[in-house]
Chain A
Amino acid sequence: DQQVKQNSPSLSVQEGRISILNCDYTNSMFDYFLWYKKYPAEGPTFLISISSIKDKNEDGRFTVFLNKSAKHLSLHIVPSQPGDSAVYFCAAPRGANNLFFGTGTRLTVIP
């Protein structure tokens, strides 16, 4: 049961433009969401998170927006840089020590 969904497997944007990565979820009880970034041949690394009591969290070029009524969150990267090219996973806590992960979106930033 895919409770966290990333419907776009890939996204290409020009350097300097905005990248918007989307994530939908089905369980309204999720109280925390996280984004992880993964480069080839490396493990995922934590990028940014958002609590369900907020609708926005910003960290430098990265901003996550949460729309609880739509059960949707998005990660905005502005401006996009070639080094941002990676696979991005959204995730939500599950049980004591587990996460629901989305299937990932591969971002390519074109110089």
Chain B
Amino acid sequence: EAQVTQNPRYLITVTGKKLTVTCSQNMNHEYMSWYRQDPGLGLRQIYYSMNVEVTDKGDVPEGYKVSRKEKRNFPLILESPSPNQTSLYFCASSLGLAGDGETQYFGPGTRLLVL
């Protein structure tokens, strides 16, 4: 089954404790992104990747890191989480560029609470 998976689905952590949210897709997609969803703000892109070892900032990259060492995986790293990073996070992948109207396939989401 074609899908994007994220782990963990739910996470409660404390300020400053490094964490990683994993994302994996099995569709051989070139393009991957991370979004966060906050009430009243819709989805906002954090980082995206256009290929292995090629990543770039989205709209809200502060406090986040990403890596793309393999085509299928795109982990999101919070080196020192803060309460304002409490949010719902989605990983997405696509065959082509979202800017060209290409459909993005989203993971199920990771709900993060930073205390």
Contact = CB atoms under 8 A, between A and B. Distances in A.
B97 interface: yes
Given A97-B31, A97-B98, A98-B98, A42 B108 contact: yes
Interface stretch (B11-19, B42-50, B64-72, B75-83): B42-50
B107 A95 contact: no
Nearest to B101: A32
Contact of A96 (B92, B99, B107): B99
A92 to B, nearest CB: 9
A45 B106 contact: yes
A97 to B, nearest CB: 5
A43 B90 CA distance: 7
Nearest to B3: A43
A98 B58 contact: yes
Size category, B interface: 20 to 34
Given A97-B33, A98-B59, A89 B99 contact: no
Nearest to A102: B42
Contact of A97 (B50, B90, B107): B50
Nearest to A96: B99
Interface in A8-61: 31-32, 34, 36, 41-46, 49, 51
Contacts of B97: 96-97
Given A41-B109, A43-B109, A95 B99 contact: yes
Given A96-B97, A97-B98, A102-B42, A43 B31 contact: no
Nearest to B96: A97
Q: 7 smallest A-B Cβ distances: which pairs?
A: A43-B106, A32-B101, A101-B42, A101-B43, A46-B103, A93-B99, A103-B42
Given A41-B108, A93-B99, A99-B98, 4 more contacts: A34-B103, A97-B31, A98-B58, A99-B104
12 contacts: A4-B42, A34-B101, A43-B107, A46-B105, A51-B101, A89-B43, A93-B98, A96-B48, A97-B48, A99-B43, A99-B45, A99-B104
Interface of A: 2, 4, 31-32, 34, 36, 41-46, 49, 51, 89, 93-99, 101-104
